[in-house]
Homo-oligomer: A and B are copies of this chain.
């Protein structure tokens, strides 16, 4: 692992509930030597990716990240483009909808929206990377993304986050094959207990999935009727998002989606 990766990984330890991280905590979280961590922190801070709280001496995510995010959004306004579609689908279904983009062997949340009409809600954290093997989005990504993804994911053991998580390589391969045929993915409590999800792939200009759109529903509310409603609208919405992002849905998948409708 290169120096750059080690340093950038430090940034991934922030999450809600861990807003500020000290040197010692970073050491335990990253498993690296204190001196190494310290120099990396200093260098990240010098570049504005972190900032140090002078009182607690803890480190926080810095302003450079916001600036770069603004640049990216300006150059490639994915969030802005996708937001209204996600909101529309969320209110149409009354459930949580999220769009994620692939980031290596994970999915990185781009945006999410919850209709907030129910008392129980799916907790969704835009800070958290989604694993490919445990989520509906991940299965959709594996099915329609670059070919090397599935073998890469299977290189390591698949960690289980619930009792339902798929951890068997053979089973995962079967499921992914199935997703290729169906044109969408369904996962029941694979990542979080009591949450079931549907997901469909989003494409770039290369006919390879670059991300996914998903609906996450508390398992209790995932009735047959709800499943039907989601299946009826998800492919069309995925195609719409792909189109708005300047991508192209592969012809064979277009056919699958049309046949299902």
Contact = CB atoms under 8 A, between A and B. Distances in A.
Interface in A22-60: 39-40, 43-44, 46-49, 54-55, 60
A183 interface: no
B55 A61 contact: no
Nearest to A204: B54
Nearest to A62: B103
Interface in A178-221: 204-206, 208
Contact of A11 (B7, B62, B68): B68
A135 to B, nearest CB: 15
A68 B75 contact: no
Q: How large is the interface on A (under 10, 10 to 19, 20 to 34, 35 or more residues)?
A: 35 or more
Contact of A103 (B2, B7, B67): B67
B55 A76 contact: no
Name which of A9, A46, A67 has the most chain B CB atoms within 10 A of its CB: A67
A70 interface: yes
A127 B73 CA distance: 10
A119 interface: no
Contacts of A163: none
Contacts of A15: 71
A110 interface: yes
A131 interface: no
A70 B109 contact: yes
Name which of A15, A72, A104, A110 has the most chain B CB atoms within 10 A of its CB: A72
Interface of A: 2-5, 7-9, 11, 14-16, 19, 39-40, 43-44, 46-49, 54-55, 60-76, 78-79, 101-104, 108-110, 126-127, 129, 204-206, 208
Ranked nearest first, the 3 interchain pairs of A and B with the lowest CB-CB distance are A69-B69, A48-B103, A61-B72
